[in-house]
Amino acid sequence: MSTYAILFDLDGTLTDPKPGITRCIQFALSELGYKPPDANELDWCIGPPIKDSFSLLLKTSDDTVLEQAISLYRSRFTTIGLFENFLYPQIPETLDAICFAGYTIFVATSKPHIYATRIIEHFRLSSLFDHVYGSELDGTRSAKSDLINHILATERLSPSHAVMVGDRKHDMIGAKHNHVTAIGVTYGYGTEEELKTHGADLIAHSPDDIPKLLVHDYVRSQN
């Protein structure tokens, strides 16, 4: 079996979570008395930690205000928004191929792991992942750099034998901070320019590109 481990971002990489995330943000802003932006103006909120997004939306760093916004967001997300998403095409087949090749696979998301686990179970993907890693509800390990470091330490993985797959700059920055190979995917919410600017080693334009790039990266590392 390969000693390589593949870390997958969730939002924008495995699933398209736009309906749930944007509706929950709109709900929270409305409850706070703000006129929320249209859903298409909130695409940039998909990927980063939700506290960071609310800080920019509300133009504040006041923890009391931000925690209130997050609480309202979660009140809708835990009951409705959690499942207002869908798998990208070819994701189950892609994960099957990677598993068959002998890689170990983990979810590495800034989303709280209790939500991420439910989403993975909802799409019946649990058997394909060795573990689902995410942040804590208090924001611990919501930064991708911290999360990847935690996964490497917990699973006793060598950075040279790990690959991070994600669609936003936060995934690339987190991977590079931990000396991990980064594959950026362009079918999510980040542009190829964003991904390359922040350190993507390889680019996947569709899910079925990922297994091919993993083989390429493995062969390259042996030379």
Whether the per-residue pLDDT at 2 is higher than 90: the answer is no
DSSP letters for 31-58: HTT--PPPGGGGGGGSSS-HHHHHHHHT
User: What's the whole-model pTM score?
Assistant: 0.90
The closest of 148, 111, 155 to 130, measured between CA atoms, is 155
pLDDT tens-digit map of 155-176: 999 999 999 999 999 999 999 9
What residues contact residue 32 under an 8 Å CB cut-off, 6+ apart? 58, 68, 69, 72
pLDDT tens-digit map of 73-103: 999 999 999 999 999 999 999 999 999 999 9
Catalytic residues: 9
